Amino acid sequence: MIILGLNAFHGDASAALVRDGVLIAAAEEERFRRIKHWAGFPRQAIDYCLAEAGVTLADVDVVAVNSDETAHRGAKIAYVLTRRPDPRLILDRLKNRKARKGVVEHLAEAFPGQAFMGKVVGVEHHMAHLSSAFHVSPFAEAAVISVDGFGDFSSAAWGIGKGRDITVDGRVLFPHSLGAFYQAITQYLGFPHYGDEYKVMGLAPYGQPAFLSEMRKIVRLQGDGGFRLDLSYFRHHREKIDYTWTGGSPEVGDLFSPMLEQLLGPRRDPSVPLTQRDKDIARSTQAMYEEAFFHLLTAVHKRHPVEAVCIAGGCGNNSVANGKIRRLTPFNKVYVQSAAGDAGGAIGAAFSVWTGSGGARDFVMDHAYWGPAFGEDAIAALLKSHAAELKSAGCKVTPIKDEAKLCSRTAEAVAAGKVVGWFQGRMEWGPRALGARSIIGDPRRADMKEILNAKIKRRESFRPFAPSVLEEAVIDWFEEDDAVPFMMQVFQIREARRAQIPAVTHADGSGRLQTVSAATNPRYHKLISAFRDQTDVPMVLNTSFNENEPVVCTPAEALDCFLRTKMDVLVLGDNYIERAGG
C-alpha cells in the first residue's frame, strides 16, 4: 500500500510517502521553492517523494491530507449562530475552503499524464498531528498531545495512544488557542513574520516574568487541563484577519486587539532596539505558555498514568518547554518528531490512514534524514563546472575519499576557529539542521556567535546556537540524559561545563542539544568524535546551512551559499573546499 501524505494549502506545505507502513521520503516544499514556510500545493515535494520511492502517481493508493473540512461541523454552526462574527470573516473562511478543494485537480495539473487512480482521504488536523508523533514513536502506549494555532476549528487535542489506536479525550475549539496567544505576543513584540515565535522563545531567557500576572488575564486555565483566552485581547474570532496561504510565504495580520496595548503598553516598533521590558514580556509569555502546557500534561497524566508522552502541533516546536517535561510533570519519556508543526501533518495523515486500515506499526522514526541526497558524480560535475569561479575566489578543492581523514581534517578546521559548511547525505526533514545540511563551529569560542553572524547569519544577537553532542557523552555535559536526535528539547548544561562551551550555552545555562548517534548519522558522529579526540569536547556548534533563506537542499545551493558568504571551509560530500586565507 502506497500512501502519499500532504500538508497542503497552508504554511510549511510538505509531502511524505509511506509504503507498507514504512516512511520512504519526506520534504517541505520550501526547500525546493527557496521561500521560507512556503504555503500552497507541494508539487515539488510530491515529485521528490515519488521519485525517491521509484513510483508514479498512478501507483499511489491513497492521498492523505491533514485536513477534514467536515470536522466539528456542529461546533462551527453553533459558533456562527451564537457569536455572530463579521460576515467578511465567514466569507473569507468559505473562500479558503473552496481553494483547498480539488486535490485531484491539482494533481492532474501538476503531473500530466500520470493518472491518479486512488482515493483522497481527509484526516482531521489534530488527529494527523497526534499520529505524526505517536505512530512513529518507539512507544506501544503513550499519552498524546497536540497544541497549535488552529486546524479544522480546533487548537488542541489530547488523549491516549495504544498500539494502532489513538483515542481523543479532550479538545480546545476555536477561538481559544495557546498558539494564537503566543503568535499575538510575537507580533506585539515586533516580530511580524510567520514562524517568528522561536525568536520570542530565544529572547525569553534575557528577561524576568514581570508580566506574568497580565498574561494570566489573557490565558485562563480550565479544570479539564484545557485553556481559554480572554477574547477581548484578540481580533481573530470576530474580524477578518489578513491571511495569505497560497503560492508563497505565509502572511498573517495582527491577531491582537487594542486591549492588549492597554494591558501591556504600546507595541514595539521593529526598527527600535529591544528593551528590558520587551525581554520581560517575552519571558512572561514563555512562562504563561509553560504554565498552561504543564497544566494540560499533568491533567492528561491523571487520566492516563503512563510513562511516555508524544507531543505534536506547532507548539511542539517549543523546545524550551519540551525539555522541562520530565522535571515538571509525571512523564519521564518524551517523543517529539523532527517536524512537529504543520509540515509533520503530511506524515501524520499518511500513518493515520495506514494504521486505520489495519496496518501494523513496524516503523520508528529515529532520525530525520528523509530528503534528497546527491551522489559524488553529481558533486564532481558541479565542481568541474564551477572550477573557474572557485579559482577566482581563491578556493582549493581537495577530494578526500578516506572518511577518517576527511573528518579529522574538518575537525582541525573547526578547532582552529574556522566556520565550516557540512553537506552530507540526505537532507533533514523538519526545521532543524541535524548534521546533513549544517554549518559547524567551535563551541569553546566565546566569540563564535559574533563570528557566525559577521560571516554568514546576520541574525539577532540574542538567538542561541545549538550543540550537536555525541549521544554517549550527554550525561557528562547535561543535567539530563536522553536521546534528543531532533533538537526538540532544551536541557540545562552542567554548571561546571558551561565555561568550556560558551558558544552554545544560552543566557540561562541551557542548550538546545542534538544527540548524534553512530547508527543514524555515522559520518557526523565520526566528525564530532574527531573533534573530541583533538579537544576533549564531544560536541560541535551546529546551525542551519543557509543565509536568511530556507536550509540548502542541493550541492549547487550549498556552493552558492559558501561563495557568497565568508564561510571558511565547505565539506561537500568527499570534497574539502577551503578558501585562501580561511
List, for residues 480-507, the tens digit of each pLDDT value. 999 999 999 999 999 999 999 999 999 9
CATH of the domain spanning 376-579, picked from 3.40.50.2020, 3.40.50.720, 3.40.50.300, 3.90.870.20: 3.90.870.20
Task: Using DSSP, state whether 111 is helix, strand or coil.
Answer: coil
The contacts of residue 30 (CB under 8 Å, 6+ apart) are 12, 13, 36, 37, 38, 550
pLDDT at 452: 93
Res. 582 pLDDT band, cuts 50 70 90: low
User: Element (H or E) spanning 533, and its range?
Assistant: helix 522-535
DSSP 392-443: HTTEEEEE---HHHHHHHHHHHHHTT--EEEE-SSPBSSSS--SSEEEEE-T
pLDDT at 461: 82
- How is the chain split into domains, by residue range? 2-129, 138-333, 376-579
Q: What is the C-alpha separation between 170 and 150, in angstroms, rounded?
A: 15
User: At the top level of CATH, which class does the domain 138-333 belong to?
Assistant: alpha beta
Same fold yes or no, 2-129 and 138-333: yes
Q: What is the C-alpha separation between 13 and 9, in angstroms, rounded?
A: 7
Quote the percentage of the chain above a pLDDT of 90: 88
pLDDT at 464: 85
**Of 197, 206, 199, 200, nearest to 509 (Cα)?**
206
pLDDT at 207: 98
Radius of gyration (C-alpha) of the chain in whole angstroms = 23
Q: What is the C-alpha separation between 44 and 35, in angstroms, rounded?
A: 13
**Of 563, 578, 559, nearest to 416 (Cα)?**
578
Q: What is the pTM of this model?
A: 0.95
Cell triple for 447? 566569540
pLDDT at 70: 84
Would you say 242 and 8 are in contact if contact means Cβ atoms under 8 Å apart? no
Would you say 528 and 483 are in contact if contact means Cβ atoms under 8 Å apart? no
List, for residues 339-362, the tens digit of each pLDDT value. 999 999 999 999 999 999 999 999
Poorest-pLDDT segment among 241-255, 380-394, 478-492:
241-255
pLDDT at 93: 54
List, for residues 280-317, the tens digit of each pLDDT value. 999 999 999 999 999 999 999 999 999 999 999 999 99
The contacts of residue 389 (CB under 8 Å, 6+ apart) are 563
Task: Using DSSP, state whether 310 is helix, strand or coil.
Answer: strand
pLDDT at 457: 78
Cα–Cα separations (whole angstroms), residue 581 to 181, 389, 396, 418, 567: 49, 17, 11, 11, 11
pLDDT at 196: 96
Query: Would the pLDDT of 97 be above 70?
Result: no
Rounded to 5 degrees, what angle do the CA atoms 217, 267, 84 make?
Answer: 55
Cell triple for 150? 488552529
Q: Which residue has the higher pLDDT, 453 or 332?
A: 332
Would you say 83 and 59 are in contact if contact means Cβ atoms under 8 Å apart? no
Residues in the chain: 582
Query: What is the mean pLDDT of the segment spanning 370-387?
Result: 98
Q: Where are any strands of DSSP class E within 110-153?
A: 119-122, 141-151
Poorest-pLDDT segment among 97-106, 201-210, 327-336, 540-549:
97-106
Query: What is the mean pLDDT of the segment spanning 153-175?
Result: 97
List, for residues 9-58, the tens digit of each pLDDT value. 989 999 999 999 999 999 999 999 999 999 999 999 999 999 999 999 99
The contacts of residue 476 (CB under 8 Å, 6+ apart) are 494, 497, 538
Query: What is the mean pLDDT of the segment spanning 181-189?
Result: 98
Rounded to 5 degrees, what angle do the CA atoms 197, 489, 177 make?
Answer: 40
The terminus-to-terminus CA distance of the chain in angstroms comes to: 51
**CATH of the domain spanning 2-129:** 3.30.420.40
